[in-house]
Amino acid sequence: MTGVVGDAPTSEGTHPTVLLRVRKLMDKAAATTNPHEADAFARKAAELVARHRIDPERILDPGAGDDLVVRQVALGRGAYVRGRLALLMAVAATHDAKVVFGSTPNGTVAYVAGFASDLEVVEVMYHSLHTQAASQMSSERRSTGAATQRFRRSFLFGYADRIGQLLADTRRTIEDGTDAAESSGRPDMALILQERSERVDEFARSEFGRVRTARAPGAAQATGWHAGVAAADRADVGRARLSGRRALGRG
């Protein structure tokens, strides 16, 4: 069964305990000021997500109720919308989810297509990582308001790019280790995952229809970009993070 949903309840495809553990680990990593503790909690969360994604019992169970769906993620308005989109796409790509976006009276909305169990994890990780980025961006000030906005915007793009690399690295490490440990009597998980990805592609084409390519975002500022990359290396996906959680205003 397929469908289009907004804030859907947890599907049977993701065991509630797994999602709860991911949330708790990321919260612990964000709360501690000890970089070693943060790194340990974060690595555990990233590995748990990657292992859950390739769990044979989950993806081979025909009665798991893991439907293909579309979720909506509000991106707001202003100068940071495309940066938020880049971060969401970086997280979604690790789970073979597809993202498009459009304008609504209430601001820009992203539409994410994929398996329900994968999208639940995508949403948890995106919102956590965006909160971390916003906290660090809010402490950045430049000589003028316009310069501050340019720096923060570039920061978010650099952060999103590096997060995508870190998540992809974790995924490859887990999958390579699983491939090496598989015996000849077990299913070919790489092939199964490829088939799931192709199903998502087909579903996205059906649900989204004709998609117009968006205009490329403006060029990022080098110093802001590199600051964002450095911040991503401290983020809760396998690196320590800075303390402090000030909120970033609308934009």
Closest CA to 47 of 74, 25, 68: 25
Q: What's the average model confidence in pLDDT over 153-162?
A: 91
Is the model more confident about 249 or about 28?
28
Query: pLDDT tens digits for 200-230?
Result: 999 999 999 988 887 777 777 788 877 878 8
Which range has the worst mean pLDDT, 123-127, 168-172, 176-180? Answer: 176-180
Query: pLDDT tens digits for 143-152?
Result: 898 888 999 9
**pLDDT for residue 100 is more than 70:** yes
**pLDDT for residue 142 is more than 80:** yes
Q: Please tell me the predicted confidence (pLDDT) of residue 204.
A: 96
Closest CA to 166 of 125, 196, 113, 225: 125
Proportion of the chain above pLDDT 90, given as a percent:
27
